[in-house]
Amino acid sequence: DAGVTQSPTHLIKTRGQQVTLRCSPKSGHDTVSWYQQALGQGPQFIFQYYEEEERQRGNFPDRFSGHQFPNYSSELNVNALLLGDSALYLCASSLWGGHLNTEAFFGQGTRLTVV
Amino acid sequence: LAKTTQPISMDSYEGQEVNITCSHNNIATNDYITWYQQFPSQGPRFIIQGYKTKVTNEVASLFIPADRKSSTLSLPRVSLSDTAVYYCLVGDPTLGRLYFGRGTQLTVWP
């Protein structure tokens, strides 16, 4: 049973470019959340997708957008990259609400470096 | 949103029991307390979750006093591989959104 898989593992982009990160959730999970983790900080919530719709959003600008596909996989897109977007981007999968003690499973993350 | 406070770092030696305490004075009725572990360049991993009293699983115990304003993660007989950042999270798990602080860097020495 595959866990959460993210691709690519590492990425280097130039300021102003656009990037797309991909996530496949754990088998049986229907909800995908994305987090940004800067060096030395805890992960910060970007947004959450369920039934192909954005359900919750953290305090991130519109340059950050996402998509969820019918197979529950998800993409995170970041436009007009800034140096400050350099971080580890984590995908977490879970079951949609109402499930107490349901843990979120995280992928290994994508390390994005903006130069 | 209940703010959490935990030590920035802790040191221990192999074989010792480690207790990491987290303060959450503004915890709400629907909030649960959850702990995650994170190794460098990896995603966080769920350790344990509880609402009140004591919860124990195969890797840790979680102690929550009656007023729920704090909690203690207990790791029995730590090994070098337990060196990681430990995050205390407080929130309603049904909402699906996790709020991480800066965590506690635990370093286990031989």
Please check whether residue B27 is in contact with residue B69, taking contact to mean a CB–CB distance below 8 angstroms. yes
Q: DSSP 3-state assignment of B18?
A: strand
A53 Cβ under 8 Å from any chain B Cβ = no
Q: How confident is the model at residue B1 (pLDDT cuts 50, 70, 90)?
A: low
Residue-level pLDDT at B101: 86
Please answer yes or no on whether A33 and B98 come within 8 Å at the CB atom. Answer: yes
Which amino acid, residue A48?
A: Q
Q: Is the pLDDT of residue A87 over 90?
A: yes
- Say how many CA atoms lie within 13 Å of A51 toward its Cβ: 3
Please check whether residue A63 is in contact with residue A76, taking contact to mean a CB–CB distance below 8 angstroms. no
Instruction: State both tokens at B71.
Output: 């909690």
Q: Region B20-27: what's the mean pLDDT? A: 94
Q: Is the pLDDT of residue A101 over 70?
A: no
As a whole number of angstroms, the distance between CA B33 and CA B62 comes to 9
Predicted confidence (pLDDT) per residue in B70-94, tens digit: 999 999 999 999 999 999 999 877 7
Q: Region A89-111: what's the mean pLDDT? A: 82
Residue-level pLDDT at A102: 59
As a whole number of angstroms, the distance between CA B43 and CA B26 comes to 27
Please answer yes or no on whether B97 and A45 come within 8 Å at the CB atom. Answer: yes
Residues 6+ apart with CB under 8 A from B91: B1, B2, B31, B32, B34, B97, B98, B99
Predicted confidence (pLDDT) per residue in B93-108, tens digit: 777 788 888 899 999 9
As a whole number of angstroms, the distance between CA B53 and CA B29 comes to 15
Q: How confident is the model at residue A27 (pLDDT cuts 50, 70, 90)?
A: very high
Strands B70-75 and B18-23 turn out to be antiparallel
A61 Cβ under 8 Å from any chain B Cβ = no
B81 Cβ under 8 Å from any chain A Cβ = no
Residue of B101, B93, B110, B3 whose CA lies nearest to B44: B101
B59 Cβ under 8 Å from any chain A Cβ = no
> Which of A7, A101, A108 to mutate to probe the B interface, most B CBs <10 Å?
A101
As a whole number of angstroms, the distance between CA A91 and CA A42 comes to 14
Please check whether residue B27 is in contact with residue B52, taking contact to mean a CB–CB distance below 8 angstroms. no
Residues 6+ apart with CB under 8 A from A80: A16, A18, A63
Residue-level pLDDT at B99: 85
Sign of CA dihedral B2, B30, B33, A27: negative
Residues 6+ apart with CB under 8 A from B72: B19, B20, B21, B22, B62, B63
